[in-house]
Structure 1
């Protein structure tokens, strides 16, 4: 004799409705501090992406090809000079681009992007534009959990945080100097031994770099295009 099982259609529907409600509205529990921090960081990342240029999201291979095309014009004699000092490397447009490309392969390009943003910031003459760019630098590189947070000591960060509402052209000098020293003592030494640099001084064609990530923050050129629209910071 077969046994038949009957299920309450009403109960099944009720269960599905409750499940759907939980998926849409959550369990009703308050967010933990960790969840709140995660949401805040995601929001900052989305804001950063909103103000970036469309071409910044193009395939990384295209970006690599652009570097290759640019660096092919560098003479070995010029590239050799970059090995004389870190200042000579950064003061040359092609040297700066080659070094930036190298840092991308090490996933530490936030350092050079911060340094370039600070160089651009010090050229400001308009007070309102200076405040906007200072805010952009702080949100992108300085504050805790920033999209491309640079490695700074607590005291340096604290000084910047306190002065960010009324920035001066020297607001980021200490932080920029710190990052400069880190790159000079660490990354620059490895750059001089890298295939990117050795290919240049030997006159060999540059090989495309296989970058595994895209930066999610501003680049130096994007800082130049910051508009005086306060709404983008809300």
Structure 2
């Protein structure tokens, strides 16, 4: 009787087993790595969810929305009509002050009302040290040459303030404040009453924020010529 013999290559069998074993080992590692990654991702999502639910996370957003809504509140037309009676009545009303400030921003002259308000606050100071500190801050912000928000004052008024700033009193800025008040009353106030901002308030439309970039006070016609010359280089 003839017997059939099947010869298996020992080398091939070993190679097959090794490859199989290698695949099993590394396949298991990948699966384990994938599971760990999913667990970590789930933990991150949970932490993010908890963070989003915390009240302080939404504080800034809610505040911004509240501020925007506050700026868009409607002004009573009857109240707005009274602002045309005098400049004092306009400044004595909070909404009137806000509307006038918005108008000055469109003319890039909001430093005038800011200076006037700063002077009003300064005159309420009682403590000597507080008077000195606030006087210096007002001088550096509004009065001195090249101040960030320098107001338009004559040389003599600025010189008198500069001399008194070392020993200021609550009346150190009275002359300058009066001068700026007159400028606003005789110039800006009359244009405000003719502006779209004021007419919209008379019609009962809501106030909206004004987003404008501030123009440099040192900008002159000669500067504009220099700008045009610089631009021409790129053309």
TM range (shorter): 0.5 to 0.7
Alignment of 1:47-196 (within 5 A): 66=67, 69-70=70-71, 72-196=73-197
Q: Summarize the Cα distance change of 1:82–1:67 in structure 2 as closer, same or farther, 3 Å threshold.
A: farther
CA distance in 2, matches of 1:132, 1:111: 21
CA distance in 2, matches of 1:121, 1:176: 11
Q: CA deviation at 1:209?
A: 2.6
Q: CA deviation at 1:204?
A: 1.7
Q: Is the 8 A contact 2:76 2:204 kept in 1?
A: yes
Q: Is the 8 A contact 1:71 1:206 kept in 2?
A: yes
CA distance in 1, matches of 2:169, 2:176: 14
Q: Is the 8 A contact 1:68 1:206 kept in 2?
A: no
Q: Summarize the Cα distance change of 1:193–1:171 in structure 2 as closer, same or farther, 3 Å threshold.
A: same
Q: Which structure exhibits the higher relative contact order, with contacts defined as CA atoms closer than 8 Å and separated by 6 or more residues?
A: 1
**Equivalent position SS for 1:117:** helix
Q: Is the 8 A contact 1:68 1:208 kept in 2?
A: no
Structure with the higher fraction of residues in helix conformation = 2
CA distance in 2, matches of 1:191, 1:115: 17
Q: Is the 8 A contact 2:122 2:170 kept in 1?
A: yes
CA distance in 2, matches of 1:193, 1:112: 18
CA distance in 2, matches of 1:214, 1:106: 9
Please give the TM-score of this superposition, normalised by the length of structure 1: 0.61
RMSD across aligned C-alpha pairs, in angstroms? 2.3
- Deviation string 1:181-234 (CA, Å, 9 cap, x unpaired) is 00000000111111111111111233443412399xxxxxxxxxxxxxxxxxxx
Indicate the structure (1 or 2) with the bigger Cα radius of gyration.
2
Consecutive unaligned residues of structure 1, counting only runs of 5 or more, are: 1-57, 216-234
CA distance in 2, matches of 1:112, 1:174: 15
- The count of aligned residue pairs is 154
Q: Is the 8 A contact 2:74 2:207 kept in 1?
A: no
